[in-house]
Every structure is written in C-alpha cells, then in structure tokens.
Structure 1
Amino acid sequence: MKFIKGHELEMLFLTAIDTGLRQGELFALTWKDIDFDNACINVNKTYKTVRNIDTGKYEGIIQTPKTNNSIRVVPIPTHLINKLKQYRLSQKKLKLKMANLYHDNNLVFCNEFGNHLDSSNILKKFKKILTAAGIENRKFHDLRHTYATRLFELDENPKTVQNLLGHSNISITLDTYTHVLDKMKEKVASKLNDLYVNMGVK
C-alpha cells in the first residue's frame, strides 16, 4: 500500500485488492458499471487479448464471463468510493488535455489515450513495485487472493466469499483457500479454549 501510493496505477491495484476482481474484469470495467449511490460494482464483462487466426496479430476483445456466477455485484468499501470519485475527476482533466488523441471508451482503467491496458505492461510495472517494496515475485492475480484471504480473516462465510469472487461452485473456493481455512480452524479452537477458560471448565 505504501509503495503504490502516487503510482500511475495506484487505483487499479487498490481496486483489485479491495474488490477481488479478475484482471480482465478490471480492464473491461466502465464507469457505468460502478454504482456510487449503492456502493457497488456490477461485474458483467471481461477483456482479453486473443490471436487473430487470419492476420496472426493479437487483438483485444470484450466477452461476457464464462459462467453465470462471474456476473455479480461486488460491494465497494467507503474509502475506495472516495478515491474512485477523485480518480474520475483527474481522468476527465486528462481527456480535456489529450483532446482528439483521447478515445473515450468510458473505461475506468485505461492508458493515457483512453484505450485498454496491456497485461504484459501492467505486470512489468507491478513487478517493479514489488522489487522496490522488497516483496517476493507475485502475479497480478495474487491481489485477488489477498482480497479473499482478508475476507476469511474477518470470519466471512465461505459461501459469501464464493459469490464475491464469482467462483462457479463452493468447492473451488474451499480448495483454493485450504491453507487459509486451516489457520481459521486453529483460530476457532483457540476461541473454544478461551470460552471454556472463561466458564471455569478445566
């Protein structure tokens, strides 16, 4: 958090950490998808780069998520709402500055010309931040894992975590976060022990 402060991609990283959206979902996100009044994001599409069979070139496409569960509503914490509002204002100023060079796709996260972000470029910048912060090499997807881990640490129900992450079934959530859930089991055992101590049971 300290090392992304003031970075050009600060809001992208913050939103990933605070909502658990996949990279493709973040890249496809438009301002229309953000409901500031109800403090939530409507996740309904994803962006990916594919190779055109005819030309051999790679091009970006917008798709609907693979499963119905991926189409979901994710709540936004208050501190992120305020930052997103400020970010939108700065983006509007950039549009005016770039004038005709800016392609207004109404994207929340885009390059200086208003176009979709490039995943390889984002990864390079992400790794530079990790190096500067002294954190071992991670993938962008690990920001999503951080979000889920925090939810479990806050004792959130696994079914709720599944819905927020957009997993197709609960087993994916449980299998992915087995290590976190094991720690939570230890926490439960400790709580039970404290309960019996308070009850005077030996």
Structure 2
Amino acid sequence: MRFLSPEEAQALLQECRKRSRQLYEIYLLALHCGLRAGEIFNLTWQDIELKNELINIKDPKNKTKGVVYMTDEVKAMFEAKEKGKPNELVFKSRKGGKIKEISNAFDKVVKTLGFNEGITDRRNKVVFHSLRHTFASWLAINGTPIYTIQKLLRRV
C-alpha cells in the first residue's frame, strides 16, 4: 500500500480544510495518530485526555482497547473544538448520529490533488487507510522500532 510524502500529506490536509472542518479533523487523526475510520467514529469526549495528551481507543474491529498519543496539531485541534458531554461522540453525522463510513469527499480530495492519476494497480492508490499506513511508514523511516510501531497501531 502506498504512503504519502510529507508534501502530499500537507496538500491533502490543506485541501480538506478548505472543504470541511470535520473532514480535516478526521483526516488529521488518521494521519497523525494512525487511527482507523471506525476508531475515529467511535470516539467520545471521555476518550480525550487533553491534559495527558492521550486518546483512549476502543477498536470495533478487534474489540480491543488502546491508547494513542496526540501530536501538537491534534491537541490544538481538540482544544479548538466545542466539547460535548463525556458520552457524546466527538464526530457526528449531519443528522447528529454516529458516522458509518468515510464519505466520498476523501475520494474527491484525492482526485483534485491527482494522487491516483494514471495508477491502475489498486494497491498503489491513495485511500483513507493510506493515512494510517503513512503514519506507520513515517515512524519506520525515522527509526522507530517495529514493535513500537505495532503497539502504536494496536496490532500486538
């Protein structure tokens, strides 16, 4: 699976920010924390520990729990958001309920930026999960031990 260069990631976030604050925030979490879509959609305000710069994760895929660390950008994003009640979802659908899937807005952003232009092998196309892969790849490139990356991705 393809991962984004820092320049591509920055372009993606800038394009998302133009379109929707919530989409930008969701993509930021995937890219900076390696979160899956389902993990993001399940976040409630009680999962966010600003003081400790931690996010408590409930993984719907594996039925496990974990903790991820906030980057400065993620912390600033949460500080700027209007807080809800502890059990309230951080990200909601337009109708106020739980988001079920990534909207086609991601595909539109990728198309606008031309990331998948001329790519026929779907393994090399940029999809939402590419943000999680980018997070892990950047850690590996910077010398983070594989076991640490696995723990950060909640794969052990």
Quick check: 2:31–2:131 contact (8 Å CA) kept in 1? yes
- Larger CA deviation: 4-13 vs 35-44: 4-13
| Aligned mates of 2:87, 2:108 — CA distance in 1 | 28
Q: Percent of aligned positions with the same letter in both sequences?
A: 30
Q: Which TM-score applies when normalising by structure 2?
A: 0.77
Q: Comparing both chains, which one has the higher relative contact order based on Cα–Cα distances under 8 Å and sequence gaps of 6 or more?
A: 2
Matched, 1:75 2:89: no
| Aligned mates of 2:96, 2:14 — CA distance in 1 | 27
Deviation at 1:2, TM superposition (A): 2.3
Quick check: 1:105–1:114 contact (8 Å CA) kept in 2? no
Quick check: 2:39–2:57 contact (8 Å CA) kept in 1? yes
Deviation at 1:161, TM superposition (A): 0.3
Q: CA RMSD in A?
A: 2.0
Deviation at 1:139, TM superposition (A): 2.0
Which residue of the partner structure matches residue 141 of structure 2?
Answer: 153
Which residue of the partner structure matches residue 50 of structure 1?
Answer: none
Which residue of the partner structure matches residue 23 of structure 1?
Answer: 37
* SS of equivalent to 1:71: strand
Deviation at 1:6, TM superposition (A): 3.1
Deviation at 1:30, TM superposition (A): 0.7
**Residue type of the partner of 1:39?**
E
Q: What 5-or-longer segments of structure 2 have no aligned partner?
A: 1-12, 117-124
Which residue of the partner structure matches residue 88 of structure 2?
Answer: 106
Q: Which TM-score applies when normalising by structure 1?
A: 0.60
Which residue of the partner structure matches residue 183 of structure 1?
Answer: none
Q: What 5-or-longer segments of structure 1 have no aligned partner?
A: 47-64, 93-103, 169-202
| Aligned mates of 1:105, 1:82 — CA distance in 2 | 21
| Aligned mates of 1:146, 1:128 — CA distance in 2 | 19
Q: How does 1:56-135 map to 2 (within 5 A)?
A: 66=62, 70-86=64-80, 88-89=81-82, 106-119=88-101, 122-135=102-115
Moved over 6 A (4+): none
Larger-gyration structure (1/2): 1
